[in-house]
Structure 1
């Protein structure tokens, strides 16, 4: 199945000008990622394998290492929102790798000859990655009872909305180094050095209160910490506090606003660099 020619034709179909042209370009790039997702179900299964392993296997085994008093309940219920975060982290990070490989294969250069703005193209790439990452994370919502969350519409819809916000934020942040990197190997090494520390230092897998004090302090600068906090407080409103600013815990609405601001800022920075670098070849 050939993905890139279809996406290019879809983007070129927006040559009518104005806002409609830009929206068609975004639609073409989002459709391209959806087709990629459907064409390679094996990759989706592999990306979900690690979070499933953590939930079903480690969720029971690690519970003996974390006291219930630090969790406010069972460890598996505490872990489930972190598993959802893991489920969107990997596919969001893969967007950066695809951007670099598309540049090497000439697909980016082919897209740049379309009438759409370069910032619009990068926005479409980001939204396409966000949509597919959200869809893959949403698969794990079917395992909500395994995480101590019954099938109730409002909490599940809230988790889905926050998964989309998490996917958008992580995808936008991934694009910042991706537009500055020319070799996929370099970018993969960068992900290996940053992804695990950010995840383990976010409170997604263990409470921040059980980690060294400097880790809990650094969590205030970690976007994954706010994401894990929002997901956990949506799934279990009585969950213990996560990120603190001094002695005060920011409310979920403020955390969501900070994540959205971070994502938009990162996307704007990446779009500016993307336009300058690609125009110079």
Structure 2
């Protein structure tokens, strides 16, 4: 157990230091969410009018933009596994006298931490969306962001463990990320989606993360706003994310255990 925890800590710290040293990566990852929030959100708020006092389209998509930032950062943080394989670092870890399963946990924790850091920056921009977040809401949002990030990073780690090349990883990620995001309810509520699409949205783990953010952010916003934007109880959101995260990290640990 001591070797397992030490390996997890070292890999987590390595991912965090790598992230903090890559300033361009931080700016790039923030660019797309800010584009959606400031350009698309501002542009569509006049077109898509929501007949709820004090609640507009920009306020609606803001939790979805946070979810997008967490999703993209968490998923692409798994690319470090491919780099580590190509440059030999992963081989050194695999042959070291430490539990291989710790690699999946350490990578997932490292990617989750970086995703939460970027999501936290977006929380500072809440006034741009007309939302005023209180300290109690931030205290709830941070663990929810970490839970979503851990689930998605564990999923990305599982994919990376089974992918040999950088090109193959990016092709798979591009195939997976957009459906996960588009079906998350970030741009439109689950209740307004076509009947054939709603089951797909309910199978999307990111949808439960975005819905959890809305459950917290719309506290005190009024019954009409919550009924329009929130699809599931907060307890269900957390339960689904916990279950998905546990499944993905378990499969990731198994994948690294069997890696030759």
TM-score for the superposition, normalised by structure 2: 0.92
Q: 2:137 aligns with which of 134, 137, 155?
A: 155
The equivalent of 1:256 in structure 2 is: 238
Q: Note the aligned Cα RMSD (angstroms).
A: 1.9
- Deviation of the 1:263 alpha carbon: 0.7
* Greater mean alpha carbon deviation, residues 63-72 or residues 33-42: 63-72
Q: Distance in 2 between matches of 1:178 and 1:256?
A: 25
Alignment of 1:1-281 (within 5 A): 19-69=1-51, 73-237=55-219, 238-240=225-227, 250-277=232-259, 280=260
In the alignment, structure 1 segments of 5+ residues that lack a partner are 1-18, 244-248
Aligned residue-pair number: 255
Q: Which moved more, 1:208-217 or 1:250-259?
A: 208-217
Partner Cα separation in structure 2 for residue 273 and residue 128 of structure 1: 18
C-alpha distance in 2, partners of 1:235/1:165? Answer: 17
Query: Residue 148 of structure 1: CA displacement?
Result: 2.5
Kept after mapping to 2: 8 A contact 1:203/1:228: yes
How many angstroms apart in 2 are the aligned matches of 1:93 and 1:124? 15
Which residue matches 2:222? Answer: none
Higher relative contact order (CA 8 A, sep 6+): 2
**Contact 2:78 2:107 (8 Å CA) reproduced:** no
Shift of 1:207: 1.9
Q: TM-score, normalised by structure 1?
A: 0.85
CA apart distance, 1:259: 0.6
Whether the 8 Å contact between 1:71 and 1:78 is mirrored in structure 2 is no
Give the superposition deviation at 1:33. 0.9
Deviates more, 1:28-37 or 1:55-64: 55-64
